[in-house]
């Protein structure tokens, strides 16, 4: 029992290492082991911001410029990590990155001029020389300005001057999640770019990079960049630069559709509730009951949902983020009624949110194209290439996810089943990872369905226990809805191994 309690307070980060959840340097250590983890980037950024605020408080008390410089340095680091997390798609970091950027842009850099006191003669002399030097440098700057305005400014501009185009990379930019309301009525040099969500850079990067390229061509004329999607030509965002001495402003338009990651996360929890209710005849008292140890691990963890929740779970909508969960005392008898009921039982804790429709998740595997598709109703969410059975050994029919196992046969070096497995109701077969990525896309197994390890880890985190699985030939994939690229990570979903989902007492012999 003591060992289990200890494990609850530890996070496994791979290669046999654990981090104590109470460690004040928890997120810094997490980022060391997982440098691409957007959640770790975000919290490390907030740590730097807190450290900066402590130094700013000391500056206000002492007026020592060293504290002000440290404050500025900490804000720069905070902005770096929160912006980097935001650009990976970690939505909760976006507002903080904007706020920290504003704070940094508004920082008043006050030169520290030492005051002359009645101290030692040596100290007074040093302070006097410092003050004299400042006055001397100021006189040079003022003299240069007078020379420019009286002489240079009136000379005809008849020779070509060189411009440091690298200055474009130094123009700060602010990101707003809204449509612009009051753009100045000036003449812009306009450019339109087209965004393919499966192949393009993140929208903010695409807009800013294009604008800076245009800036290198002309450093005086205001610039406007519009972003349209390649599908229907809908305007998705705008970047503007109003001319010299102004910052870049980026506007990311709120989507009329539900945010993709929020839709996915809501659908994952609702699907787990749906399967739990069908299996047990009631809803779990708490959402965390969906994350019990194997074999009752409907989910590895509860997606954290929109932004950083002050309360992960509440019974009423107050806009404090997280989830609103009202399980009630009974479930509806029919599947259609149960689906409608779950739409009311579980909602994101956001005010003025457009209703999120729900259809339970299901997996469809096409033996003709060696493709696995995760769907919500008619909406495909993910599509992965798979390896299937040689000589048509992969069975066709309708199954369900009977068991979820993390790191199957963990103690076997280079396990053929990879890092995750979803055992089917026909227990001779499973959907699992692989130690042979070159086999993906081919018919080489003894009947099991193989995915690349990163793909099975993502599928595992999104797929609840008892999810239906249909294996067929000539499955007609719905091409009317664009799939989300497997490269686009949903930062609400955790793929960190939950040790309670490992089964070290069983050696698995699926038809690999």
The residues facing 389 across adjacent strands are 445
> Concatenated DSSP letters for 357-385?
----EEEEEETTTTEEEEEETTEEEEEEE
Query: Residue 402 catalytic?
Result: no
Evaluate the omega torsion of the peptide bond into residue 268 and state whether it is cis, within 30 degrees of 0: no
Query: Residue 448 catalytic?
Result: yes
Side-chain-side CA neighbours of 185 within 13 Å: the count stands at: 0
Beta strand pairing status for 248-252 and 173-176? Answer: parallel
Counted residue by residue, the chain has a size of 512
- Tell me which of 28, 64, 80, 432 is the catalytic residue: 432
Q: Which long-range contacts (CB under 8 A, 24 or more apart) does 416-422 make?
A: 416/512, 417/508, 417/510, 417/512, 418/450, 418/451, 418/453, 418/456, 419/453, 419/456, 419/457, 419/497, 420/453, 420/456, 420/457, 420/459, 420/460, 421/456, 421/508, 421/510, 422/456, 422/459, 422/460, 422/463
CA 156 to chain centre: 53
Residues 387 and 434: beta-carbon distance below 8 Å:
yes
Nearest to 196 by CA among 206, 186, 188, 187: 206
Helices 65-87, 92-105: crossing angle, 10 deg rounding:
150
Please measure the distance between the N-terminal and C-terminal CA atoms of the chain and give it in whole angstroms.
Answer: 35
Nearest to 504 by CA among 409, 414, 404: 409
Distance (Å, rounded) from C-alpha 289 to C-alpha 280? 12
- Tell me which of 74, 80, 448, 466 is the catalytic residue: 448
Torsion of CA 444, 445, 450, 452, to 10 degrees: -50
Token digits of residue 33:
């082991």
Residues 82 and 97: beta-carbon distance below 8 Å:
yes
Q: Which residues are catalytic?
A: 432, 448
């Amino acid at each position: 029992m003591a060992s289990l309690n200890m494990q609850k307070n530890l996070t496994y980060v791979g290669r046999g290492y654990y981090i104590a959840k109470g460690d004040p340097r928890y997120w810094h250590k997490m980022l060391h082991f997982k440098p691409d983890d957007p959640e770790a980037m975000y919290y490390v950024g907030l740590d730097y911001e807190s450290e900066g605020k402590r130094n700013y408080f000391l500056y206000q008390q002492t007026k020592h410029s060293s504290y002000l410089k440290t404050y500025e340095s900490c804000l720069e680091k905070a902005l770096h990590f929160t912006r980097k997390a935001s650009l990976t798609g970690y939505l909760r970091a976006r507002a903080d990155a904007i706020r920290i950027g504003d704070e940094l842009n508004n920082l008043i850099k006050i030169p520290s001029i030492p005051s002359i006191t009645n101290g030692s003669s040596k100290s007074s002399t040093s302070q006097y020389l410092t003050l004299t030097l400042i006055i001397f440098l100021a006189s040079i700057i003022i003299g240069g300005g007078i020379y420019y305005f009286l002489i240079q400014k009136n000379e005809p501009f008849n020779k070509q001057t060189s411009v440091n185009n690298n200055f474009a990379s130094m123009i700060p930019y602010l990101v707003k999640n809204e449509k612009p309301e009051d753009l100045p009525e000036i003449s812009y040099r306009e450019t339109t770019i087209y965004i393919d969500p499966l192949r393009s850079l993140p929208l903010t990067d695409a807009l800013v990079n294009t604008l800076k390229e245009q800036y290198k061509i002309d450093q005086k004329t205001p610039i406007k960049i519009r972003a349209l999607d390649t599908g229907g030509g809908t305007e998705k965002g705008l970047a503007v630069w109003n001319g010299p001495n102004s910052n870049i402003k980026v506007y990311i338009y709120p989507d009329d559709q539900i945010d993709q990651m929020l839709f996915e996360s809501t659908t994952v929890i609702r699907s787990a509730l749906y399967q739990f209710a069908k299996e047990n005849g009631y809803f779990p008292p708490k959402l965390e009951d969906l994350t019990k140890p194997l074999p009752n691990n409907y989910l590895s963890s509860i997606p954290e949902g929109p932004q950083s929740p002050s309360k992960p779970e509440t019974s009423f909508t107050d806009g404090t983020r997280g989830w609103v969960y009202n399980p009630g005392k009974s479930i509806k008898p029919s599947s259609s009624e149960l689906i409608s009921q779950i739409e009311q039982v579980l909602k994101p804790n956001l005010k003025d949110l457009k209703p999120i429709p729900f259809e339970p998740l299901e997996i469809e595997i096409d033996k003709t194209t060696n493709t696995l598709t995760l769907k919500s109703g008619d909406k495909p969410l993910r599509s992965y290439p798979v390896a299937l059975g040689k000589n048509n050994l992969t069975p066709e029919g309708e199954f369900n996810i009977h068991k979820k196992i993390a790191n199957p046969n963990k103690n076997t070096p280079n396990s053929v089943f990879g890092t995750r497995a979803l055992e089917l109701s026909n227990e001779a077969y499973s959907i699992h990872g692989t130690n042979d990525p070159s086999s993906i896309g081919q018919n080489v197994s003894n009947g099991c369905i193989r995915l690349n390890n990163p793909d099975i880890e993502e599928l595992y985190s999104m797929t609840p226990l008892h999810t239906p699985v249909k294996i067929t030939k000539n499955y007609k994939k719905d091409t009317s809805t664009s799939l989300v690229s497997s490269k686009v990570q949903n930062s609400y979903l955790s793929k960190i191994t939950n040790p309670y989902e490992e089964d070290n007492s069983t050696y698995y012999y699926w038809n690999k």
